[in-house]
Amino acid sequence: MAEIRGVFFTFHASHFTLKNMRFHLTLFSILLILLSAGELVARTNLSIISPTTDFTTNNQTVEIKGIVESSVAGEVIVSTNTPGGVLDLRQLTHSIYGVVVDLGSAQELKGMLIRHVVDRGFPRGPRLARLAFSQAGANLSAAQPFNIPSGIDPNFHGTVVDFPSAISAQFVQIEMLEGWQIEPIAIESIQFLDTNDRVIQGQIQSIAIRLLLTDVCPPNLTGPYCASFSIKVMLEAGVNRLSVTARELAPSDPDSLNAVDREMISLSYLPELKPEAAEGGVFTLSDGDRATVVIPALAFDEHITKLQFFSVPPETVDPFTYRGNSRIVKGTAPVVVYRFEALRQGVFAAEATSALHDQPPTFAVDGILDPPSTWVAGLVPLPVILTIDLEVQRTVSRIVVHANVEGETSFGPQRATLLTSNNNENFTDVLEVTAFDDQVTTIELPTRPSARYFRLEITESKQANNLQLNEVEFFNILGAKIVSFDSLEYLILERPALLELAYRPSDLTVANIRRESDLKIFAWDASAQEWQLVGGEIDLNRRVVRMELNFISEVALFQAVPSQIQAAWSFNPFSPDGNGIADRTRLTIVSHNTSHIGGTEPVVEIFDLHNKLIRTLVNQTVMSSNTMSVEWDGRNEAGEIVNIGPYIYQIRLTNGDQVEVRNGVIVVGK
């Protein structure tokens, strides 16, 4: 390697291939030699706050949060490998220092295309960068400085950086040394131009950010200088190993490698919740931070393929949603908040310019590869133009076309041109396909175009003016199928799931919690616009609140007002379908605030999620003890079986002028 001082990236340890193994081993050996020789003074300490290690997630994006401590002032570079790339460079909250880009295969490059983030009319991108190249990942070339203009090329809608001559490379390392503004360097994207002026989209293999160390450190850190950071990276299917590295840049020489510390995070990404992937019939999912869910494989129908959950900063929750809540201690705030999201596979809309007179020219990419999921059927005039809307801009490396075949006769295309667009108006040619297989044709896209709209202009078909396509599939850079998802933020589960929410002592301080033992889980009721108490058991040693839930929604930990009422259902959910199993459920109520419940005029009512009264189970019934129970058969006041779903039960105990209320959720299942 010609130069080691500029190396900032970490190793993609999730998997090695033959073509890049030597490259990573060479760099690793050099760093070990330097460390053993004492050239790197160990005065930097890297601490990962989240995620933890050794967990499984259904979230494709993970957020790495950490703190760097140092014994000297100055700047620090934090870098990590990105197994699945980076979703959006604009999401970086810190100054970007550099990236390593993998173009998939060796390309003949004539320049780089960079898009600056523009703030109030001023570009915040780099003014000076240093680039190094490699053909196969074994060695990087000597780094070359490049001045980066601030203007935009109208032909490419970005800033073009011309290379002095064509460069053959698959891997490109970019270090951004100076920015156009004093503010942190920020960019939207980095692409490359080949010698035919085609835009080449690569995958970011590693990313580095630049931080300023300050003497304002949390009291639990030795410092005396520190900096916190957050980086979001995408994962690939299977095991991912994230190698996070921190190194200092001495103020006297910002390019010298002074001190290094490294942490490794291991996790598994499960792209889909397929029953065969469950262990012991359940999925144990986590975000590596404060939430863990143990959910049965049969909790969803077959169309639900993902369950994602994301931490919500408690300070972003509107205080008006909980300040007036009688079940939440006044003066406190949420401790931990999570938003859950079930994803149901949807369809990509598509349009065709030609179709039969009784067939609408709108079709769908629905994942069904066999008839009757047919796009174009019967005699239609050529050419046929199919335009598929992928909903957002996506990077595509491969397209698979499925043609209909009857017997030995294929009704697929013979010749077509692929075009892309981001506005469905101005399309750019990508390539021409001059030969299709009879049934399944795989089209590799070496330039990896990034676009929202993909168009197939079919000019010839295997049968004269008779074209029948069953499906067109799209795959990303990692080889994963691109699928449309419909988001469900509230979903009834067919089997209960176990939810665990963890918290830290600092969370309690920020939320002004005075009694940790009173922490309970609340669920957000969007229809009532309030937080509903659902319960939970607390483990003070582990600092975890856990409970079983029959639904998913946004949940939060609050300090609950201690209740003198205990309530429990014999079956929740229950199924009033007449099969003799859990047709009825019994609510047992215990009051610790009175000698007998009858003296408190108890009322028990069932409401739907729109606050409509469904059934009154008890209305000021006099009982002779402090315990009572009541049954519900799943019927409304008219004697009709209610619809499947969650309902709110409310218990009101009136004693003189004092009224105590207890709300909860009861679920009617199949």
| Residues 172 and 103 sit within 8 Å (Cβ to Cβ) | yes
Alpha carbon separation from 43 to 80, 139, 210, 216, 257 (Å, rounded)? 20, 29, 18, 18, 12
Give the count of alpha carbons within 13 A of 379, CB side only: 1
Residue carrying structure tokens 């000019």 = 459
What per-residue confidence (pLDDT) applies to 2? 34
Question: CA nearest 338: which of 548, 519, 489?
Answer: 489
Distance between CA 194 and CA 653 in Å, rounded? 76
Tokens of residue 141, six digits: 């070339």
Q: φ, ψ for residue 314 (rounded to 5)?
A: -55, -30
What per-residue confidence (pLDDT) applies to 26? 45
What residues contact 370, with CB distance under 8 A and at least 6 apart? Answer: 470
Q: Is 512 left (phi over 0), alpha (psi -120 to 50) or beta?
A: left
Architecture of the domain delimited by 275-344+488-559: Sandwich (2.60)
Q: Which CATH class is domain 565-668?
A: mainly beta
**Among positive and negative, which fits the CA dihedral 509, 510, 516, 518?**
positive
Q: How many CB atoms lie within 10 A of CB 603?
A: 18
As a 3-state breakdown, the chain gives helix, strand, coil percent values, each rounded to 5, of 5, 55, 40
Q: Which residues of the chain have pLDDT under 50?
A: 1-7, 9-19, 21-42, 251-254, 256
Q: How many CB atoms lie within 10 A of CB 304?
A: 20
Number of residues in the chain: 670
What per-residue confidence (pLDDT) applies to 357? 52
Question: CA nearest 493: which of 313, 304, 346?
Answer: 304
Rg (CA), the chain: 30
Question: CA nearest 667: which of 522, 489, 496?
Answer: 496
Architecture of the domain delimited by 348-483: Sandwich (2.60)
Model pLDDT for residues 262-272, shown as the tens digit of each residue? 999 999 999 99
User: Which sequence spans correspond to the domains of the chain?
Assistant: 18-269, 275-344+488-559, 348-483, 565-668
Distance between CA 415 and CA 410 in Å, rounded? 14
What per-residue confidence (pLDDT) applies to 370? 67
| Residues 36 and 260 sit within 8 Å (Cβ to Cβ) | no
**What does DSSP say about strands 61-70 and 44-50: parallel, antiparallel, or unpaired?**
antiparallel
Question: Quick one: how far is CA 204 from the chain centroid?
Answer: 17
Q: What angle do CA 440, 441, 446 make, to 5 degrees?
A: 150
Common-topology check for domains 275-344+488-559 and 565-668: no
